[in-house]
Amino acid sequence: MTLPQCLKVVLATCGLILPLAVASTSNADPATAPTPQVPKLNWQPCTEPTQKGFQCANVQVPLDYKNPSGESIELAVIKHSATEQSRRIGSLFLNPGGPGGAGTEELPDWFSQFPSELVKRFDIISFDPRGIGDSTAVQCFANEEEENRFFAQLPQGFPVGEAETVNWIQGYTRLGQMCKQHSGNLLAHVSTTDVAKDMDLLRRAVGEPMLNYIGLSYGTYLGAVYGNLFPDKVRAMVLDGNIDPERAWNNGGKDDARLSISLRIGSDLGSARTFKKLLELCGETKSDRCAFSAGSAEATQAKFTALLEKLRKQPVVINGKTITYAVLIDGLSGDLFVVQKVGRFKGWYGAADLLQKAWEAPPATSSDLSAIPVIAPDIGFFSVGCADTLNPRNSEAYRQLAVVAFKRAGAFGPNASWSDQACATWPSRAADRYTGPWNRPTANPILVIGNTYDPSTPYEGAIAMSRALARARLLTVDGYGHTVFLNPSQCANEYITNYFIKGELPRLGTICKQNDQPFSDN
């Protein structure tokens, strides 16, 4: 397989990065800030059936770290103890990404993805970040029924046409107002900086002198913030599925934002590029391995183009559900995250099955339109992302962004750009927003990992992260899907294991292969 062109350019420079001059910043040094009290963790067996074998705890942390003795909020924490306690090294924290990922759910769901030696040697810990899940959460509705009714009235996936666009803009403007009404002051205190300070408090609570950490997707940005706020506390840190911390999340420190956050990250381009490979690999095999195969890469691409034209004219019905053009694209965007099914992600095989079912499905009638599945967005993404990043603040600007995104990424473009539109009228900005520097030398080097075909956080983000950090080593995985953690590579897992246990880094320019090649016997 040919690697993306960017990889060929950086192989000579993708290892340890020399410390750069430290830029000026308005961010307060945690060492000079008021010191919050370290919470006590009262571990108890978790109560949910899906959390069997895990321990849970709830702790109080300051709402505002500038006033640590003031109002507090609650964090939900989860742990799986090291299976070989006599050889235990310490605690290893996981952030599953998002923003909006709940560690108390994702850690049990994804626990089998951890390398076996790490399970033996580390207590593995995660938590629901503030504003999310079972922690003190951002609330926008009185109850779940009200939430379902609200989103059922909006276009599903993303808006198509003028009427849906007006409905979308008005609906997400109302959403921000409702979140402000129900959550008030919390909205200003769910920033990445706040979560990084929570994680350091939890590190101290479990008695660790330094942090061991795996950050996935948005969790890579959280890790970069932590590493620059607490550089002397980094023992080992793996950042997997990376976001450019400066030019994507923070827009280079500029006050204006012409592109929204998902377009700066490149999620539209990553999805388009990865899906093109899915169609190519699907077409190169037979339909018994990829249900949507038309016998060649070119024929399969043409078949997909014809399917989109069919759906633009009229939705179809699959298993009693009405699938529109936008619903299909939105579903495919998620399916691209994993090659093999993991947790709620159906994977590439599920994507191919969905495409073939849509190809064969009967057209919907007017009576079927009420059966369009309701796609409720992740409020956590808005509450953190909209407050923490710069985005166009004019709702009408997103019409043009959808055009720009379509031109550069095809059908996946508007799905990405409209997903950010709530930020146009989001009612709060982060009270403590980290903007750099990104090059504070950490006590130990950080391992940055990227898949060459990552649909959500493209490989270019891993290159940018490895260059932005003062001490980093880039490990490239020639593979597909969002993060290596969810799309395992035995080669990468060995490097990750040796890094956490022995402090060893892969050699400069190392490239690993992925375990599962799509639509093949491997």
What is the value of pTM for the model shown? 0.93
The mean per-residue pLDDT over the stretch 250-277 comes to 89
Q: What is the pLDDT of residues 48-100, one digit of tens each?
A: 999 999 999 999 999 999 999 999 999 999 999 999 999 999 999 999 999 99
Helices (H), 373-489: 379-381, 387-388, 397-409, 412-418, 459-468
The pair of structure tokens assigned to 335 is 């399916």
Q: Is 17 a residue whose pLDDT tops 90?
A: no
The mean per-residue pLDDT over the stretch 97-118 comes to 96
3-state secondary structure of 468: helix
Q: What pLDDT, on the 0 to 100 scale, is given for residue 255?
A: 59
pLDDT interval class at 118 (50, 70, 90): very high
Rg of the chain in Å (alpha carbons) = 22
Q: Is 10 a residue whose pLDDT tops 60?
A: no
Q: What is the pLDDT of residues 221-237, one digit of tens each?
A: 999 999 999 999 999 99
Q: Phi, psi at residue 264, to the nearest 5°?
A: -70, -40
Q: Is 432 a residue whose pLDDT tops 90?
A: yes
Long-range CB pairs of 243-246 (<8 Å, 24+ gap) are 243/217, 243/218, 243/457, 243/461, 243/465, 244/460, 244/461, 244/464, 244/465, 244/468, 245/221, 245/438, 245/464, 245/465, 245/468, 246/436, 246/438, 246/464, 246/468
7 or 293: whose pLDDT is higher?
Answer: 293
Q: Rounded mean pLDDT of the chain?
A: 92
Residues 6+ apart with CB under 8 A from 169: 395, 396, 398, 421, 424
Q: Is 1 a residue whose pLDDT tops 90?
A: no
Q: CA 474 from chain center: how many Å?
A: 19
Q: What pLDDT, on the 0 to 100 scale, is given for residue 250?
A: 86
Q: Phi, psi at residue 362, to the nearest 5°?
A: -75, 155
Q: Is 203 a residue whose pLDDT tops 80?
A: yes
Distance (Å, whole) CA 83 – CA 462: 32
Q: What is the pLDDT of residues 309-331, one digit of tens each?
A: 999 999 999 999 999 999 999 99
Distance (Å, whole) CA 444 – CA 3: 30
Distance (Å, whole) CA 498 – CA 312: 51
Q: Is 11 a residue whose pLDDT tops 50?
A: no
Q: Phi, psi at residue 402, to the nearest 5°?
A: -65, -40
Tell me the C-alpha to C-alpha distance, in Å, between residue 225 and each of 72, 186, 221: 22, 20, 6
The pair of structure tokens assigned to 199 is 């994680």
pLDDT interval class at 251 (50, 70, 90): confident
